[in-house]
Amino acid sequence: MIGIKSIASYVPTAGIDNYAQGAKFGKDDEFILGKIGSAFLPRKDQAQETSDLCVEAVNALFAANPQLKRESIDALIVITQNGDEDGLPHTSAIVQDKLGLPTHVAAFDISLGCSGYVYGLYAIKGFMEAAGLKNGLLVTADPYSKIVDPEDRNTTMLFGDAATATWMGEDAVWQLGKAKFGTDGSGAPHLKVNDGVFFMNGRQVFNFALIKVPAHLHELLDDSGLQSADIDAFCIHQGSAAIVDAVARRFEGEPEKFVKDMLETGNTVSSSIPLLLEKHLDNGSWKRVALSGFGVGLSWGSAIIYRQ
Amino acid sequence: MIGIKSIASYVPTAGIDNYAQGAKFGKDDEFILGKIGSAFLPRKDQAQETSDLCVEAVNALFAANPQLKRESIDALIVITQNGDEDGLPHTSAIVQDKLGLPTHVAAFDISLGCSGYVYGLYAIKGFMEAAGLKNGLLVTADPYSKIVDPEDRNTTMLFGDAATATWMGEDAVWQLGKAKFGTDGSGAPHLKVNDGVFFMNGRQVFNFALIKVPAHLHELLDDSGLQSADIDAFCIHQGSAAIVDAVARRFEGEPEKFVKDMLETGNTVSSSIPLLLEKHLDNGSWKRVALSGFGVGLSWGSAIIYRQ
């Protein structure tokens, strides 16, 4: 069984002071901290392509796992909706070359936004098991600085650039349990790109998250024969502090188990959940974690992962 | 085990007379028939989006399989590098809505070109098995008319628009056997979009296909413990008549088993292999078929499918 062996990340050190940015839009520190949740928004260098962020994250993964050799990688999935080169070729092919991975790698991109990591875990596990592959890299990199208008107060205070890399393979400590997914394209207009610029209807997205996510997590627990008390932590997409708080409250379980940690990263799209897992999965105190990603599509996905 | 239950397609009836187009570039009918292989290149209507082609193909699949109900669909993957809306949101979300599929569908796009169907088969089978899903749609739609320059003699005589839909589920007659994949991003510049216009280095792509594909098929047969005589047909990507002929010759097996059928479609990117399978899988004479897709990335994938 393919599971999660290790997670690493790349977060640019340069970025934007969100208090200063908030002041520009007449927002005080309380709003930035309490509603947005992020004091600092990392920004890639203009010259860095999406593939470069992927390469940094994978190199961090190799550095943290010296036993993992480049030659042993046989699967690579990049989750992005803001890839290199207008998306043709796929970013994962460029990453294969920049990393010097062997040419027997099966590489493709998955187009998903904030729900992407949850889908990606099952996509790469399933693909590897169906194709008999052994060591896969699940990479997330969706730098919204490419598409966010710095004058759009609805989006520019929210998003941060980051990338993560997850090593998927045999004999993993963390295994994938049950998952549930959903898609509602009738809500596509609420989060989309128009002529290269990102548009978000924040109220609609907030309502969507509040209506869908707590109920979806309850359904997942029911399907898994579990209760909220069986879950050590809820690592949901860090859309904003307000969204995480509202989902935690509406869930009516143990709100303190909902991890909120975006102070120095902002909303990093498909990287937000693996950034949380990278920090906490190895600390030994968590045995079972619930994930939920939600956003562009509209699309949502929730899953249970557990320590073997 | 999830396998291939049924395949349907949508090929626009409007299009381009390729003999007339060839004459414009000083190419005679022999070149169009013998080297290009396509007398007619289907073209979507300007007003049709990629999602509309997907919808047509899936509706054809529903029409051919009245026992398949929309409510029973729980997975949808669209393979495209020319989706709607600059790729954000993903085309599969728009397709979910236009088709009126239930919102419990797990939907995402895979970004791959001519190798996409072979990867897609293992991606959707694996994802469905990993997530416990029952009825999936694997859709291909990559209308190159969006990006091909009608004045570029290297590309405009080659590509046709089409879409296909494959129903994946339990108790399927056709099952997936072994597969092998490969990626070489150092060749990415040979097939790419520059400022919205597709560029192809035809000689480099031809050489790539000739060097990689026959050897890859032999490796796949070796890994599967099979010989060329055990394969009823080789359904490889229909890049051009010249490429199919050259790969068949270089394979040094039984060249007559390589299906060549692009006269009325052109190179339909990730739709070319399922268009062949749609025509022949049900006729009962094939028991074991080898597939190979190759192109943008550079990327390649080969697989054996077999009748259960």
Q: Is the pLDDT of residue A134 over 90?
A: yes
Q: What is the pLDDT of residues A262-277, one digit of tens each?
A: 999 999 999 999 999 9
What pLDDT was estimated at residue B74? 98
Over range A183-209, report the average pLDDT: 96
Quick one: DSSP state of residue B47?
T
What pLDDT was estimated at residue B223? 97
Nearest to A185 among B93, B180, B196 (CB): B93
Q: What is the pLDDT of residues B277-296, one digit of tens each?
A: 999 998 888 999 999 999 99
Distance from C-alpha of B249 to C-alpha of B243, rounded to nearest angstrom: 10
Residue B229 corresponds to which tokens in the numbers above? 């005589």
pTM of the model: 0.98
Q: What homologous superfamily is domain B3-172 in, according to CATH? A: Thiolase/Chalcone synthase (3.40.47.10)
What pLDDT was estimated at residue A85? 78
What pLDDT was estimated at residue B86? 80
What pLDDT was estimated at residue B298? 97
Flag whether residue A223 sits within 8 Å of chain B, measured between CB atoms.
no
Kindly state the percentage of chain A with pLDDT values over 70: 100
Contact between B89 and A123 using a beta-carbon 8 Å cutoff: no
* B83 and B52 Cβ atoms separated by less than 8 Å: no
Helix axes B91-99, B50-64, angle to 10 degrees: 50
Residue B241 corresponds to which tokens in the numbers above? 């008549």
Residue B267 designated active-site = yes
Partnered with residue B211 across adjacent β-strands are none
Nearest to A126 among B94, B126, B198 (CB): B126
* A169 and A287 Cβ atoms separated by less than 8 Å: no
Flag whether residue A100 sits within 8 Å of chain B, measured between CB atoms.
no
Contacts of A177 in chain B (CB under 8 A): none
Query: Following DSSP, what letter does each residue of chain A receive, concatenated?
Result: --EEEEEEEE--S-EEEHHHHHHHTT--HHHIIIII--SEEE---TT--HHHHHHHHHHHHHHH-TT--GGG--EEEEE-SS-SGGGSS-HHHHHHHHHT--TT-EEEEEE-STTHHHHHHHHHHHHHHHHT--EEEEEEE--GGGT--TT-TTTTTTB---EEEEEEESS-SEEEEEEEEEE-GGGGGGEEEETTEEEE-HHHHHHHHHHHHHHHHHHHHHHHT--GGG-SEEEE--S-HHHHHHHHHHHTS-GGGB----TTT-B-GGGHHHHHHHHHGGGS--SEEEEEEEETTTEEEEEEEEE-
pLDDT averaged over every residue in chain A: 97
What pLDDT was estimated at residue B175? 98
What pLDDT was estimated at residue A283? 82
Over range A165-175, report the average pLDDT: 98
Contact between A178 and B132 using a beta-carbon 8 Å cutoff: yes
What pLDDT was estimated at residue B253? 86
Contact between A186 and B97 using a beta-carbon 8 Å cutoff: yes
| H or E stretch at B21 | helix B18-24
Q: Is the pLDDT of residue A284 over 90?
A: no
Flag whether residue A297 sits within 8 Å of chain B, measured between CB atoms.
yes
Flag whether residue A96 sits within 8 Å of chain B, measured between CB atoms.
yes
In chain B, the residue whose alpha carbon lies closest to the alpha carbon of A51 is B185
Contacts of A112 in chain B (CB under 8 A): 90, 108-109
In this structure, what are the phi and psi dihedrals at residue B78, rounded to the nearest 5 degrees? Answer: -110, 125
Report domain extents, chain A.
3-172, 175-307
Over range A111-140, report the average pLDDT: 98
Residue B98 corresponds to which tokens in the numbers above? 């236009």
Distance from C-alpha of A278 to C-alpha of A7, rounded to nearest angstrom: 5
Quick one: DSSP state of residue B304?
E
What pLDDT was estimated at residue A65? 98
The segments of chain B whose pLDDT lies below 50 read none
What pLDDT was estimated at residue A86? 80
What pLDDT was estimated at residue B268? 98
What pLDDT was estimated at residue B69? 97
CB-based contacts of B202: which residues, under 8 Å, 6+ apart? B154
Flag whether residue A127 sits within 8 Å of chain B, measured between CB atoms.
yes
Q: Is the pLDDT of residue A87 over 90?
A: no
Fold for the domain defined by B175-307: Peroxisomal Thiolase; Chain A, domain 1 (3.40.47)
Contact between B96 and A185 using a beta-carbon 8 Å cutoff: yes
Pairing of strands B233-236, B288-295: parallel
CA distances from A54 to A162, A165, A280, B52, B112 (A): 9, 7, 21, 33, 18
